[in-house]
Amino acid sequence: MPVATAEAGTDYAARFAQLDAWLDEHQALWRAKPFTSPQLPWEADWPELAAWLRSRTLEQAEAAHNQPHVLDAPEPFASLARRAIELSRLPQWHLSAESLTGLSSPRSTTGDHNRLPELLTRHIPGRKWQQISHFAACVHQQWQQPTRHWLDWCAGKGHLGRLLAWQGGQQLTCLERDPELNRQGAELGLQLGITSQHLDADVLQESSWRYLRPEHGVVALHACGQLHMTLLQQAAAQGCSHLALSPCCYNRIDHPDYQPLSATARAGRLRLSRDDLGLPLQESITAGQRVRRLRDQSMAWRLAFDLWQRQARGVDSYLPTPPRPESALNAGIAAFCRDLAAHHQLQLAEPDSWQELEQQGWQRLAQVRNLELLRGLFRRPLEIWLLLDRALFLQESGYQVRLGEFCEHQLTPRNLLLIAEKPDTQITPTL
Ligand SMILES: C[S@@+](CC[C@H](N)C(=O)[O-])C[C@H]1O[C@@H](n2cnc3c(N)ncnc32)[C@H](O)[C@@H]1O
């Protein structure tokens, strides 16, 4: 299948239509969660695949989690995996931006940590710095026209905006809700001789939207759901000349149902809940062994509670379990489960053996994690569907849009970048 990487509007619309149809057709495979549904709706249709996944160990599930595509599982797993990859392919801009020298700015030394003023990189952990420098390099490479004024949306201390403004000698405005981050950002800007404004602004409030101006090149690195959706709507309304956005936390939205931005997605088949939007984010972070062990124990005990409460109540339905502090694990599984029962104001007959129940909880965890591998195939396609909704909205608003990956997946799974420009804008700076 030819994969759309081109820039014409119809390509993204066509790509969206393919994804929309595919995700809709296979929704029984990715919507239901093995953690909350002991039996999944697709298992009756694909018994061989279900049995194969259920027979595997927790360690095997862990090993395959970040690359379920390579699993040698019974059909339809392999066919779905192939199609998921086809539908998720995007240009890898970081490869062409890897020679991160010689970018549009004479002062640019992006990627070369050693040649930058120490103040630019101060307080930035290595991984974050790499994300920022890759993002900046891709922006320089992809934007056809330079900007005169950067606006960093949900800027934190404004590290990204400061790097871009330092490279090109332009002005910088940062919008950020946390005054302390703004104070520190302003100090760093002053010390570097950058003309920067760090405004205490809640970007969800209408009063903040007036800061967006047509001459702004707006950047947003990892702004959560509602924050970046608001940006797209308001930047388009204000006619900002350039936009570069890497979205994250798609599920942090105001409404319980996803409200598509584009007319194309609104006319599509797929309807998503806030819960569905969590799927693209379900990638295991590179946690240490201790953290992983505690997380697994907590999940195995919650699953043990689920088995217990269903059996003791005689009601086959899931009861949500609230977050518990790490210390809750110290008191043992019996106290842990009794606390969860008390949370639901339930007095349940105790199981014959807590030890046996715990063992069943661990068995179920292994099954859950392996069954999750099938949902895992849909993580990236759903994320690309969401990205295309954003891209199509901007196209419908008169922007030229390009989509790509700004860094390796290992650096951050949220590595998608949307680049948008108003064609042929004659920008008169607002004084
Ligand atoms: C994930 S951080 C990203 C920060 C920065 N862009 C980066 O990549 O380092 C999200 C930032 O958004 C800010 N934020 C959250 N809600 C906000 C709001 N309603 N208005 C403005 N900033 C907000 C947070 O304080 C935080 O600094």
> Each residue of 217-258: pLDDT tens digit?
999 999 999 999 999 999 999 999 999 999 999 999 999 999
- What pLDDT does residue 286 have? 64
Per-residue confidence (pLDDT) for residue 82, from 0 to 100: 98
Q: Return the pLDDT at 277.
A: 97
CA of 98 to the centre of ligand 1 (A): 27
pLDDT at residue 8 greater than cutoff 50: no
pLDDT of residue 285: 61
Reference 163, options 103, 100, 116; nearest CA is 116
CA angle 295, 301, 302 (to 5 degrees): 90
Which atom belonging to ligand 1 lies closest to the Cα atom of 153? 6
Cα 65 to Cα 75: distance, rounded to the nearest angstrom: 18
Which residues, in sequence order, are bridge partners of residue 171?
A: 149
Strands (E), 115-240: 149-153, 171-176, 196-200, 216-223
Average of pLDDT values for 322-348?
Answer: 95
Q: What average pLDDT does the structure give for the chain?
A: 91
Q: Is the per-residue pLDDT at 411 higher than 80?
A: yes
pTM confidence score: 0.92
The pLDDT of residue 237: 97
Q: What is the pLDDT of residue 153?
A: 98
pLDDT in tens, 156-174: 999 999 999 999 999 999 9
- For the cut 70, the answer to whether the pLDDT of residue 209 exceeds it is yes
Coil, helix or strand at residue 419: strand
Give the span between the Cα atoms of 78 and 46, in whole angstroms: 13
Number of DSSP helices (H) and strands (E) in the chain, helices first: 17, 7
Contacts of 101-108 with C-beta under 8 Å, sequence gap 24+, read 103/137, 103/140, 103/141, 103/167, 104/140, 104/146, 104/168, 105/140, 105/167, 105/168, 105/169, 107/166, 107/167, 107/168, 107/169, 108/140, 108/167, 108/168
Lookup: tokens for 339: 């606390």
Write down the pLDDT at residue 16.
Answer: 98
* Model pLDDT, residue 146: 87
pLDDT score recorded for residue 103: 35
Residue nearest to atom 12 of ligand 1 (CA): 154
Distance (angstroms) between ligand 1 centre and the Cα of 203 equals: 9
What pairs with residue 126 in β-bridges? Answer: none
- Tell how far the Cα of 177 is from the centroid of ligand 1, in angstroms: 7
Minimum CA distance residue for ligand 1 atom 1: 222
For ligand 1, mutation pick of 154, 162, 198, 248 (most atoms within 8 Å of CB): 154
Among protein residues, the one with the nearest Cα to ligand 1's atom 13 is 154
What is the number of other CB atoms lying within 10 angstroms of the CB of residue 216?
Answer: 26
| Alpha carbon nearest to ligand 1 atom 27, residue | 156
Cα 14 to Cα 2, 87, 94, 395, distances in angstroms: 11, 11, 25, 13
* 78-116 pLDDT per residue, tens: 999 999 999 999 999 988 776 554 333 334 444 444 568
What is the 10 CA–ligand 1 centroid distance (Å)?
33
What pLDDT score was predicted for residue 425? 61
Q: Within 6 Å (CB) of ligand 1, which residues are found? A: 154-156, 159, 175-178, 181, 201-204, 221-222, 227
In this predicted structure, what is the pLDDT of residue 99?
Answer: 56
Calculated CA dihedral for residues 221, 177, 158, 153, nearest 10 degrees: 40
Question: Where do runs of H (alpha helix) occur along 239-378?
Answer: 263-266, 289-313, 332-343, 354-376
Mean pLDDT in residue range 6-35: 88
Q: Does the pLDDT at position 7 exceed 70?
A: no
pLDDT computed for residue 206 by the predictor: 97
Confidence at residue 118, expressed as pLDDT on a 0 to 100 scale = 86
Query: Is residue 311 pLDDT above 70, yes or no?
Result: yes
- Ligand 1 center–CA 13 separation, angstroms: 30
Q: What percent of the chain has pLDDT over 90?
A: 83
Sign of the CA dihedral 56, 61, 64, 67?
A: positive
Work out the pLDDT band at 361, boundaries 50, 70, 90. very high
Residue in 134, 172, 173, 177 to alter for ligand 1 test, most ligand atoms within 8 A of Cβ: 177
Q: What token pair was written down for 197?
A: 């404004």
Average confidence (pLDDT) over 70-74 = 96
pLDDT band at 122 (very low <50, low <70, confident <90, very high): confident
Q: Which atom of ligand 1 is nearest to the CA of 220?
A: 6
pLDDT given at position 334: 97
Protein residue with its CA nearest to atom 18 in ligand 1: 202
Distance 158 CA to ligand 1 centre (A): 10
